[in-house]
Structure 1
Amino acid sequence: MAIPQRIAPLAARAASLLPTATGDRARFVASRRDLESSRPLREPRQLVERLLRRADAAHAQGDSAAAVDWADKALQILFHPQRHYGDAISPLSRRGLEDLQPLRRSTVGRLLMTSPDPQREVRPGGPRVLVLAGRSWTFIDRVIKDLEGEGTFEFRTRDLSQLPAVERPSRRGVLEARYAASTTGARIAPPPSLAEDLAWADVIWMEWATYTATWLTLLDGIDARIVVRLHSYESFTPYPQMMDMAQVDELVFVAPQVRELVCASAPRAEQAGRISVVPNINDFSEMVPDKLPGAGRTLIQVGWANPVKDVEFTLDVLEDLRREDPTWTLLLAGSPIGEDDDDPRSRRIRERLAAAGDAVEVLGFRDDMPQVLRRAGYIVSASRHEAAHEAIAEGAAAGCVPVVRNWPEFAEWGGAASMFPLDWIVTDARGAADRIRSTADEGFDPAREDARRWLFGERDPEGTRRAYVRALIGDHGTEKG
C-alpha cells in the first residue's frame, strides 16, 4: 500500500533512527529533502562518514555497484548545491578543507577523488581544435572568435548535451566510470557520434570542468592534446577531484584564486601536464566612459538573483548611502528572481525591493549593456565568490568606479585582490558605502579614470591571445605553471 504523501517524510524520519543500511538510506533521503527545502543540516559530516563506511564495506566485499551507490549518496550530501550556492557560506571556503576529510579517510573516497592515475607523456597540440561544452558557450565563444582571427586554428564545436541519450555523459555514469578506472583500469569507449571529430582533432578543449570533463579524461584511446578550462563554479563540485588529471595536458584557470582552491582540494591536479592562469578574452571596445545625467549617484549590480551574487549586500550599501543622501539609486541588471521562488531569501529580497520603491530599478536581462552602463557611476560586485567577474571589468571599461567585495568564499584563497587593485576592494557593506562616498563628487572622475587606465593596462589582448595559443600548441612539455 502506498504511503500518503504527507506521511512519507514522517516515515522516513522514523526509519532514519534504525542502526541499519535501511536507516542510513532514510537518513540520506531526509537530509537531501532538508537541503532541497533550504534547511541546514545539523551534522552533515557524521552522515557522510556513515555513508562512506557503507561504501567501504561494500568495496571490501567486492560489491562495486553498492560501493558506488553509497559513495554517490555521500557526494550528494557533501556537494549539494544548497551547501555551496545557497544562502550559507560554502564549507570549502576555509583552507583547512575539513569538509573533505571523510573522503580522504575512506577507501572508496580515495579511489574516486585522490588516488594518482598512471602518468603519461604530455601530448603536443596542433591547428585543429575540437571544443566540447554543455549549454554554456558565452566565454568560450569569445576565445574561438578571437583565435579564428589569429589565423592558425580551425575549430569545431560539439554540445555534449545534444549527444544521443545512450552516449551522453551523465553524473552517475561518470561516477561509475571513475570507480572502474581506479579499481580495474577500465576506461569509457568513445561515443560513436563523436568518433569523426575525435579522430580529426589535434586538440580537445573542454570548457567547464564539470562531470563532462571527468568523462572526457576517462575516455579510452584519445590521442589529441586535452585542455580543460575551469571557472569558479566547478570549484564547489566534486568533478575536478574526480578527473584523471594525468590525461590533461593543460589545466587552464581563469583566475588565480580558483587555481588555489582547486589545487588544494584536488590533489590529482599536480598530475596535469601544465597549469596556467589565463583571463577571459573580452572586447571592451563597445564600452564608452560617457555618462548620462544622474550617473554619479547611481549604482549598478549586473547579475543579482542567484544567491551567490548576494544582492542583499548591495541593498545594505544603498541603505547606508541613502541615510545621508536620498538621491542615491540602484540598477539591477540580469534575470530576476523566479516568480515561483518562495524560499525565505526570495521573499526577503522581494520585501526589500518593495520597501526601496523608486530607489531601485529592476532592469531584467539586457543585451544593450554599453548603454545601460552609461546610466551608472558605480558598479558593485557583491558576490560570495567569483572568478574573473567580467561584469566588473566591463564596468571599469565603461567608466564606472568599481566597488568589489572581498568575495568571502575565496578570501582565504587570495580573494578579489588576486584579480583587482586593493583600492577597489572592501570587506563589508559599510566599507563599500565609505568607498563610494570618498570617490563621489570631486573624486568621481579621477576614480573612474584610474579604473579605466588600470583595466586597459592589465587586460592586454595580445598577451592573452598568446597565452591561449600556448595552451593549445603546448610547447612547454611538462612544465608546471
Structure 2
Amino acid sequence: MTEVLFVAAAKPQFGVLADSVRKFNALGARVHLAATFHLESSAEEVAALELAGLHQLPRSIAHRSQALRRKARTAPLGMRVWMQSKRDTWLRDRARRADVMVALDPGAVYTVWRLAQYNRGAAAVFGLAPGMKAVEGLAAQGGSVQRRSVLPPLDAVARDVRRSVDGLPAAVMRTATARPVMRSTVGARLWRTAVTAPGVPTRVRAATSRYVAEGMQWAGRTSGAAIALADAASKIPDLALKAQLLDEGVMKEIAKGLSPRHLGRAVAAQLAHGDREFAAGRVEAAAGALDRALFLGFHRVLHIDQLSSPLAEDAEAFVAPLYRSGAMRALSRPRGRRTPHRKAPSDRPLRLLVTTSANDNFLRHVLDHFGGHPGVELRFLDLAASKHLKRIAWAGRRMLVDRLSDGTSDYQEEVERLFRPYLDWADTVFLDWSVGPAGMLTTIDPGDTRVVVRLHSYEAFTRWPHMTDFSRIDDLVFVAPHVRDLAVSLVPQLRGDGAPRFHIVDNAMDLSGFARPKPAEARFNLGLVGMSQVAKDPRWAVDVLERVRRHDERYRLILVGGDMDPKTSMATREYRREFEKVLAPLEESGAVVRLGPTDDVPSRLPEIGTIISSSVREGCHVGLMEGAASAALPVVRDWPFYAGKPNSARTLYPEGWVVGSPDEAAKRILEATATEETWRDAGKLAAEHALSAWDWPVVRKHFEKLFLEDR
C-alpha cells in the first residue's frame, strides 16, 4: 500500500481533488490530508473525498512565543504555514510514513519541502499531476522509486526564506539550516541563494551566512560552507567584515585538509583591509590584517602537508599579489645597516655565536669542530632555552607592527635590550634556520657584526622569509641550488641590490661511520629512511616495491623512522590513513617491514640494499645521502616540486641516480640488482661519491671558508 500525504494551506477545488483522490485510490494508494484552512467550514465537501485520513493543522501560533508571533506577522505565507505546523505530531508521523508528499498549493510548498528533509526516501512534489506520476512510478517499480523534486523553481521557495531571515532568533535559524536541510542539494542551494539576495542588511547577511555555513559543515558540505561565506562576502562592502568571512571560509576547508578554492580572494581581502588601515595610520589593525594574509597564504596545509603546492607551479606569480599591497611593500622595504660588518680579527680568535631555536639537528659537527678550533672562540645560544628570547623570536605580529611603524614600537626596544649584548660580543653570528628568529634578528641594526643565516628548505614554504629584512644579513647559506632558486623567486629583497651574498654549503654529516658490510640478502631489500612528513610520500616507494615484486617476490621494503603525526593537520591524517590502508596487506605478507624510529641509523643500513628518495620535495635528502654512503644503490625520484627546472634532483645527484617514474625506478633496481656483483659495484660507486662530496672532512672546509676566509 502506497502512503500519500496531501498538505494544503488554502481551500482546494474540491471537485478536482475528489476526482484525483479516486484515481490515487485506484492505484492502491491511501491518501491523507493535512490542512491549515478551516476543515469544519467545508465538512460536506471533505467528507466526499474518500480520504484514508484527515487532520486539522494549527491555524495560528497564538500559543507560541512572543518573538515568533512578531516574526509571523511579517513572514510570507509559506513560512507561516511551516511555523504553525512543524510541531504537529500527527503531521510529523504521517510525513515519516509517507511514500509521496504533495503540496496542493504554493502556501504548502515550503512545509512539504521541510518535511521531505526528514523522509529522504519519499517523493516531494507540487501539484496533483506530479503526485499521480510519483504514485504510478511506485506501482510500476514495486513500491520504491528514487525521490525526485518537482517543487516549484528554487527562487519561488527562496523568496520566502530571504524575506524571513532578518530577525529570526538564533534557535530558529539553526533549525532552518540544520543538517538534514543542508544535506539536501535543494536546501543547500536555496540557502546559498538566500545569502546573496539583494537588499539584505550587511549585519543580517553576515549572520545568515555563518548559520548557513554552520549547517552545511554539520551536513558534511565543507566546501559548500566556504562557498556560502564567500558568496556573502562578495555582497558586503565593509572590508574588515568581507575579509573576516572569506578567512572563515578558507579556514573551514583548511581544517578538513582541503586546498581552499577562495584562498586568493581571502588573501586579497586581508591585504585590501590592511592597506586601508595602514593608509589611515592604524598600524595595529594593518599589522593584524597583514599577519592573517601571510598566515593564510603560507599555511602548512597548502604547501607542506600536501603532495603539491602553488609554489611548485609558479612561485613568483603566487606572491605577486602579496607584493602589490602597500602595507606589504612598507614591510619589505630594505632598511640596511649603518656600517658594514668588520673583518674577522687577525690578532685574536674569531668570536663566533651559533644560534638557533630548539632545532640544532644540523649543528653538532659544526659546534664540535669550531668549539675546538684554535682560531675561534665559540658560543652557542638556543633561543628556546630562554623564555624571554623565545617570546621575541617568534612574535610575528609584533614584528609586523614594528616594521609598519618604522621601528618605533616597543618590540624593537625589547629586542635591543635582550639581543644586543650577544651582537656586541660576536664578530660573526651564524643563525640556523631562516624562520622567526631571522625576522627578530633583522629588526635591529646589527652594527658591525657579521650576520650569516642558513635557509634549509622548509622555510621557503613559510611566511618567515617575507618578514625578514635580508638587507641586514651579510651572507645567506643554502643547502642546495634549487632551494636558492625557489627562495629568490619568492622574496623580492633577494633579487635587489641590497641582497646578501649567497653560498651553497652541504649539511654537516659524518658519513664514514656508515661504511659497514652488507649481507648478500640485502640486495633484495629496498629502504626508506624517514617518513614523518607527507612530503616524503612513502606511497611512491610502495608503488616501486609492487613493481619489482612482479618480477621477484624476494624484494621487500624496509621503513626506518617514525610515522606521520595525525595531529599535525587533517591533510596529514588523511594521507596516513590511506597509506596505512595500502600498507596493511603488505606488512601481513612480509613484503614491508617497519623498524620504527631509531637514534642509530648506521646500524639499520647494512640490511638495506637500495636506498630510495620518494619525496615530492627535499633540500638535500640526508637519509638518501647516508644510504648512499653505506653502499646502498641510490634511487631518487625526480622531486616533482623541482622537476624540469634549471636546478633539481637531477643536478644535485650523479647521472643515473634520478628516475622520472616508478617504472623507471623499478627498471633501475632490477638491472642494478640482477646479480650480487652488479649490485655491489653500483653500491661501491655510490659510496665513493657520497664520501668525496658530502662527508664532513670535505664540507668542513666550506664552513671554514665561510667563517674564516677574510682573516
2:258 equivalent to 1:39 = yes
Aligned-residue offset at 1:321: 1.1
CA shift digits 1:292-317 (9 cap, x unpaired): 24210001111113101111111111
Q: Secondary structure at the match of 1:168?
A: helix
Cα distance change, pair 462–15 in 1 and its aligned pair in 2 (3 A): closer
Task: Look up the equivalent residue of 1:459 and give its one-letter code.
Answer: W
Q: Is the 8 A contact 2:392 2:415 kept in 1?
A: no
Please, which moves more after superposition, 149-158 or 2-11? 2-11
In 1, the alpha carbon distance for the partners of 2:480 and 2:578 equals 32
Of 602, 619, 624, the match for 1:387: 619
Aligned to 2:681: 446
Please, which moves more after superposition, 99-108 or 165-174? 165-174
Q: Secondary structure at the match of 2:405?
A: helix
Q: Secondary structure at the match of 2:415?
A: coil
In 2, the alpha carbon distance for the partners of 1:194 and 1:55 equals 30
CA shift digits 1:313-368 (9 cap, x unpaired): 11111111112211111111111133667732111011111021221111111122
In 1, the alpha carbon distance for the partners of 2:431 and 2:566 equals 34
2:270 equivalent to 1:51 = yes
In 2, the alpha carbon distance for the partners of 1:284 and 1:469 equals 19
Q: Secondary structure at the match of 2:559?
A: strand
Please, which moves more after superposition, 25-34 or 399-408? 25-34
Aligned-residue offset at 1:238: 2.3
2:593 equivalent to 1:361 = yes
Q: Is the 8 A contact 1:189 1:219 kept in 2?
A: no
Aligned-residue offset at 1:181: 3.8
Task: Look up the equivalent residue of 2:647 and give its one-letter code.
Answer: G
Of 229, 236, 241, the match for 1:22: 241
2:581 equivalent to 1:373 = no
Task: Look up the equivalent residue of 2:440 and give its one-letter code.
Answer: W
Q: Is the 8 A contact 1:210 1:240 kept in 2?
A: yes
Q: Secondary structure at the match of 2:269?
A: helix
Task: Look up the equivalent residue of 1:287 and give its one-letter code.
Answer: F
Task: Look up the equivalent residue of 1:26 and give its one-letter code.
Answer: L
Task: Look up the equivalent residue of 1:118 and give its one-letter code.
Answer: G
In 1, the alpha carbon distance for the partners of 2:669 and 2:427 equals 50
Task: Look up the equivalent residue of 1:142 and give its one-letter code.
Answer: H
Task: Look up the equivalent residue of 2:507 and give its one-letter code.
Answer: N
Q: Is the 8 A contact 2:446 2:472 kept in 1?
A: no
Cα distance change, pair 293–450 in 1 and its aligned pair in 2 (3 A): closer
Of 286, 289, 296, the match for 2:523: 296
Cα distance change, pair 383–413 in 1 and its aligned pair in 2 (3 A): farther
Cα distance change, pair 182–260 in 1 and its aligned pair in 2 (3 A): farther
Aligned-residue offset at 1:78: 0.8
Q: Secondary structure at the match of 1:320?
A: helix
2:299 equivalent to 1:83 = no
Task: Look up the equivalent residue of 2:334 and give its one-letter code.
Answer: P
Aligned to 2:402: 177
2:503 equivalent to 1:276 = yes
Please, which moves more after superposition, 373-382 or 52-61? 52-61
In 1, the alpha carbon distance for the partners of 2:554 and 2:322 equals 53
In 1, the alpha carbon distance for the partners of 2:289 and 2:421 equals 37
Q: Is the 8 A contact 2:399 2:411 kept in 1?
A: no
Aligned to 1:345: 575
In 2, the alpha carbon distance for the partners of 1:340 and 1:249 equals 38
Q: TM-score, normalised by structure 1?
A: 0.91
Aligned to 2:669: 436
Q: Secondary structure at the match of 1:290?
A: coil
Q: Is the 8 A contact 2:566 2:576 kept in 1?
A: no
Task: Look up the equivalent residue of 2:514 and give its one-letter code.
Answer: M
In 1, the alpha carbon distance for the partners of 2:534 and 2:336 equals 40
In 1, the alpha carbon distance for the partners of 2:170 and 2:527 equals 52
Task: Look up the equivalent residue of 2:584 and give its one-letter code.
Answer: A
Q: Is the 8 A contact 2:512 2:695 kept in 1?
A: no
CA shift digits 1:199-231 (9 cap, x unpaired): 321111111000211111112454321110110
Please, which moves more after superposition, 273-282 or 142-151? 142-151
In 1, the alpha carbon distance for the partners of 2:248 and 2:403 equals 24
Of 93, 99, 112, the match for 2:312: 93
Instruction: Look at both structures and tell me which one has the larger radius of gyration over its CA atoms.
Output: 2
In 2, the alpha carbon distance for the partners of 1:67 and 1:2 equals 32
In 2, the alpha carbon distance for the partners of 1:380 and 1:213 equals 33
Aligned to 1:334: 561
Aligned to 1:139: 362
In 1, the alpha carbon distance for the partners of 2:312 and 2:449 equals 35
CA shift digits 1:386-421 (9 cap, x unpaired): 112111111111010111111111222511123211
Cα distance change, pair 407–188 in 1 and its aligned pair in 2 (3 A): farther
Q: Give the root-mean-square deviation of aligned CA atoms.
A: 2.8
Cα distance change, pair 100–83 in 1 and its aligned pair in 2 (3 A): same
Aligned-residue offset at 1:262: 0.9
Aligned-residue offset at 1:461: 4.1
Q: How does 1:240-251 map to 2 (within 5 A)?
A: 240-251=465-476
Task: Look up the equivalent residue of 1:251 and give its one-letter code.
Answer: L
Cα distance change, pair 163–460 in 1 and its aligned pair in 2 (3 A): closer
Aligned-residue offset at 1:379: 0.5
Aligned residue pair count: 475
Q: How does 1:85-164 map to 2 (within 5 A)?
A: 85-95=304-314, 97-113=316-332, 115-118=333-336, 121-125=340-344, 127-164=350-387
Q: Secondary structure at the match of 2:334?
A: coil
Cα distance change, pair 96–281 in 1 and its aligned pair in 2 (3 A): closer
Q: Is the 8 A contact 2:358 2:385 kept in 1?
A: no
Q: Secondary structure at the match of 1:423?
A: coil
Task: For structure 2, list consecutive stretches of 5 or more residues without a partner in the other structure.
Answer: 1-168, 180-209, 216-224
Please, which moves more after superposition, 390-399 or 236-245? 236-245
Cα distance change, pair 324–414 in 1 and its aligned pair in 2 (3 A): same
Of 319, 325, 341, the match for 2:552: 325
Aligned to 2:129: none
Cα distance change, pair 399–15 in 1 and its aligned pair in 2 (3 A): closer
Q: Secondary structure at the match of 1:156?
A: strand
Give percent identity, aligned residues only. 30
Aligned to 2:658: 425
Cα distance change, pair 47–278 in 1 and its aligned pair in 2 (3 A): same
Q: Secondary structure at the match of 1:374?
A: helix
Aligned-residue offset at 1:112: 2.6
Aligned-residue offset at 1:195: 4.8
In 1, the alpha carbon distance for the partners of 2:446 and 2:685 equals 51
Q: Secondary structure at the match of 1:437?
A: helix
In 2, the alpha carbon distance for the partners of 1:136 and 1:186 equals 24
Task: Look up the equivalent residue of 2:541 and give its one-letter code.
Answer: T
Q: Secondary structure at the match of 2:599?
A: coil
Q: Secondary structure at the match of 1:283?
A: coil
Task: Look up the equivalent residue of 1:198 and give its one-letter code.
Answer: L
2:685 equivalent to 1:455 = no
Q: Secondary structure at the match of 1:138?
A: coil
2:291 equivalent to 1:72 = yes
Q: Secondary structure at the match of 1:363?
A: strand
In 2, the alpha carbon distance for the partners of 1:159 and 1:33 equals 36
Q: How does 1:231-246 map to 2 (within 5 A)?
A: 231-246=456-471
Aligned-residue offset at 1:139: 0.4
